[in-house]
Amino acid sequence: MSTRRERADSSVHGGGSSWVAWLSWLGVAIFAVYVAFMLAAPWLVNRGTLSLLYLVLYFVLLAASWNLMSGFTGYINFAHVAFIGVGMYASAIAIADLGAPWFLAVALGGCVAAAYAAVLSVPLLRIKGPYFTITTLAVAEGTRVIMSSAFMEPLTRAGSGIPLFVQIGFETKYFAMLALVVAVVVVTYVLANSRIGLRLLSIREDERAAENLGVNTTRLKIGAFVLSAFFAGLGGGLHAMYLSYIDPFNAFHIKYTVIPIIMTFFGGIGTVLGPVLGGTVLELFNDYIWAHVLRLNLATFGVVLVALILFMPQGLLEWLKDRGFLPKTRRI
Domains and CATH numbers, the chain: 46-323 (1.10.3470)
- Band (173; pLDDT cuts 50, 70, 90): very high
Q: Around Cβ 152, how many Cβ atoms within 10 Å?
A: 15
- Band (94; pLDDT cuts 50, 70, 90): very high
For residue 330, is pLDDT > 60?
A: no
AA letter at 140: A
For residue 311, is pLDDT > 80?
A: no
pLDDT in tens, 230-284: 999 999 999 999 998 898 888 898 888 888 998 998 888 888 898 999 999 989 9
Distance from the first to the final alpha carbon of the chain: 26
State residue 130 phi and psi, 5-degree precision.
-65, -20
Task: Please tell me the predicted confidence (pLDDT) of residue 314.
Answer: 63
State residue 253 phi and psi, 5-degree precision.
-65, 145
Mean pLDDT across 36-40 = 97
For residue 16, is pLDDT > 50?
A: no
Share of the chain above pLDDT 70, in %: 82
Q: How many CA atoms lie within 13 A of 94 on its CB side?
A: 23
Least confident of 7-16, 110-119, 220-229: 7-16
For residue 180, is pLDDT > 70?
A: yes
Task: Please tell me the predicted confidence (pLDDT) of residue 298.
Answer: 63
pLDDT in tens, 221-231: 999 999 999 99
Task: Please tell me the predicted confidence (pLDDT) of residue 186.
Answer: 95
Name 208's Cβ contacts closer than 8 Å, sequence gap at least 6: none
Residues 47, 50: Cα–Cα separation, whole Å: 5
Mean pLDDT across 68-90 = 94
Q: Give yes or no for a contact between 111 and 89, defined as CB atoms under 8 angstroms apart.
A: no
Q: Give yes or no for a contact between 41 and 249, defined as CB atoms under 8 angstroms apart.
A: no
Task: Please tell me the predicted confidence (pLDDT) of residue 319.
Answer: 61
- H or E segment to which residue 300 belongs: helix 297-311
Mean pLDDT across 305-321 = 66
- Band (69; pLDDT cuts 50, 70, 90): very high
Mean pLDDT across 284-313 = 71
Residues 332, 320: Cα–Cα separation, whole Å: 14
Q: Is the pTM of this model over 0.85?
A: yes
Q: What is the CA radius of gyration of the chain?
A: 20
Q: Give yes or no for a contact between 280 and 56, defined as CB atoms under 8 angstroms apart.
A: yes
- Band (158; pLDDT cuts 50, 70, 90): confident
Task: Please tell me the predicted confidence (pLDDT) of residue 65.
Answer: 97
Residues 21, 95: Cα–Cα separation, whole Å: 45
Least confident of 70-79, 173-182, 202-211: 202-211
For residue 295, is pLDDT > 80?
A: no
